[in-house]
Amino acid sequence: MNYPHPIIAKEGWPFLGLSLVASLIVTVAAGWLWSAPFWLVTLFIVQFFRDPARPVPGTSKSVLAPADGRIVVVEKVRDPYLDREALKVSVFMNVFNVHSNRSPVDGQVKARWYNAGSFLNAALDKASTENERNALWLKTMGGHDVTCVQVAGLIARRILCYVKEGDVLVRGQRYGFIRFGSRVDVYLPPESRIKVAIGEKVRASATVLAELP
């Protein structure tokens, strides 16, 4: 499996480094009592930027969860990027979830769109069209179109995406990161068989969201 980073995501290294230095300085200068809040912040940063390796279940027709979190939307909609009928599945991430984003399918990036926007609560459905977002159009080896959209949230202020048009991804491959609370929307062919329900907790690459036709 493509896993280029250690247990703590590289996006968190600067935050963790600064927090560790600050914690150590306050500990030496003022003692453990005064430094306790700094160490709590350090622990929060460690848990937020954790990036564990994950299994990749299913077959080439399996659509995997692109993020850790809770299912907040499962519905038939119009894909705003490819202008087609689609099934939409949305995963909401809170600050205690792993925020590394993984490819839901094996496929080639046919296009990428970035839209600046608001920072509404990512659990709200209108966040999909009003918040800052980054969308990938993935064409699977079987010819199916899958749109995967990173959506910034109320606290999130940075969407990171490391792939571009023409790149080929495999299921479970790490392709991006969203800092501090957000959601990921997946638009699937309408004939897909959904495997999850609203309210269900999912894990990036380890949970099968749907099966392609």
- DSSP letter for each residue of 90-124: EEEE-TTS--EEE-SSSEEEEEEEEE--B---TTS
- The residue among 86, 69, 59 whose CA lies nearest residue 148 is 86
Give me the pLDDT at residue 75, please: 96
pLDDT at 125: 61
Measured CA to CA, the distance from residue 189 to residue 84 in angstroms comes to: 9
Q: How does pLDDT run along the chain (213 residues), one tens digit per residue?
A: 455 556 888 888 898 999 999 999 999 999 899 999 999 999 988 988 888 888 899 999 999 999 999 999 999 999 999 999 999 999 998 888 888 899 999 999 999 999 876 555 545 565 566 678 899 999 999 999 999 999 986 655 578 899 999 999 999 999 998 876 688 999 999 999 999 999 999 999 999 999 999
Q: What are the residues whose beta carbons fall under 8 Å from the beta carbon of 89, sequence distance 6 or more? A: 71, 73, 74, 185, 186, 188, 194, 196, 209, 210
Q: Which residues contact 109 (CB under 8 A, 6 or more apart)?
A: 136, 137, 138, 163, 164, 165, 166, 167, 168, 169
Report the 10 Å Cβ neighbour count for 199: 9
What confidence score (pLDDT) does residue 4 get?
56
Cβ atoms of 156 and 181 within 8 Å: the answer is yes
Nearest Cα residue to 92 out of 55, 117, 67: 67
Report yes or no: 181 and 48 within 8 Å, Cβ to Cβ: no
- At 199 the pLDDT is 96
Pairing of strands 84-93, 100-102: unpaired
Rg (CA), the chain: 18
- By annotation, the residues acting in catalysis are 182
Structure tokens at 204: 């990036």
What's the pTM value of the predicted model, to 2 decimals? 0.85
Name the residue type at position 40: L
Class of domain 62-211 (CATH, top level): mainly beta
* Cβ count within 10 A of residue 14: 9
